[in-house]
Amino acid sequence: MVTGAVLVWLLLGAVLDGDYDRPTHAVGAVLTTAVVVPLVVVARGVLDRRPWAGLGLPSLRAGWRRLLLGMACWLVPAAAGFALCLGLGWVEISVRTSVGDVLRVAVLLVVLVFLKEALPEELIFRGYLHHNLATRLPAGQAVIGQAVLFTLFGFLVGAARSVDRLALFLVFALLLGAFRAATGDVWAGIGLHVAFQTVAQLFGDVGAVFDVVGADVLGVVAMGAIPFSVSWLVLRHHYRLNWRALAPDPPR
């Protein structure tokens, strides 16, 4: 599965290689989900010979509360982090365009992040891989295992080649894996993933609607340390997880 994921991202990256533009981003997002979902379906049905339910992706009707929980766990402390950085003068942010344009880009990025990163990556790593690890290893080891695989994936596809990026991938995957183990599905992780990636892209070159002075500080403090730490505290406070337990696997 990891090999398949790497090949999918490398192939789509090669096909869509070039200067960034919104249509290419949209095509890449749709193609990523269109390829990854069948890949997981085939792996689960043919290789595992197990029902889809084990992957932890129930309907949105069943998972929307956990989706919102994941988004809130990141967005609320991140907003406080933004206020802190701006209030202390560590960061300066100016708008390049109108407020209407900012809102339109933000809404578009939510959809594109969901299709290109959040859904496919969570389905593979916190869905398929985490579940298969968790049926054979204690919960804590499964969380660590999928995080290592996710970091390796980031390195192989070129998204995490520096030490700081590798650390980000590892910490992010550990947090997402903990939410998966605690809640029993991937919706909270999808919500957190969407929130983080959307804001990161909105205030970066992809969004191209803000000029940011002190972007490194903003990324480390407001988008990383504060929301990740608070998310972990929320997870520990609301859930009691047996880190040594094995996850059940639905029968064939």
pLDDT digit string, tens, across residues 107-118: 999 999 999 999
The residues that bridge with 95 in the sheet, in sequence order, are 210
pLDDT at 164 over 80: yes
Percentage, residues of the chain above pLDDT 90: 87
pLDDT digit string, tens, across residues 176-230: 999 999 999 999 999 999 999 999 999 999 999 999 999 999 999 999 999 999 9
pLDDT, averaged across the chain: 94
CA–CA distance, 227 with 189 (Å, rounded to integer): 14
The pLDDT of residue 83: 98
Q: Angle at which helices 22-42 and 2-15 pack, to 10 degrees?
A: 150
Query: 99 or 241, which is more confident?
Result: 99
**Three-class HEC string of the chain:** CHHHHHHHHHHHHHHCCCCCCHHHHHHHHHHHHHHHHHHHHHHHHHHHCCCHHHHCCCCHHHHHHHHHHHHHHHHHHHHHHHHHHHHCCCCEEEECCCHHHHHHHHHHHHHHHHHHHHHHHHHHHHHHHHHHHHCCCCHHHHHHHHHHHHHHHHHHCCCCCCHHHHHHHHHHHHHHHHHHHHHCCCHHHHHHHHHHHHHHHHCCCCCCCEEEECHHHHHHHHHHHHHHHHHHHHHHHHCCCCCCCCCCCCCC
The pLDDT of residue 240: 81
CA–CA distance, 124 with 120 (Å, rounded to integer): 6
Instruction: Tally the residues of the chain.
Output: 252
Report, as an integer, the average pLDDT of 51-55: 86
* Burial of 111 (C-beta count, 10 Å sphere; 0-12/13-18/19+): middle
pLDDT-wise least confident of 13-22, 77-86, 97-106:
13-22
pLDDT at 251 over 90: no
CA–CA distance, 65 with 67 (Å, rounded to integer): 5
pLDDT at 252 over 70: no
Percentage, residues of the chain above pLDDT 70: 99
pLDDT digit string, tens, across residues 113-147: 999 999 999 999 999 999 999 999 999 999 999 99
The pLDDT of residue 249: 76
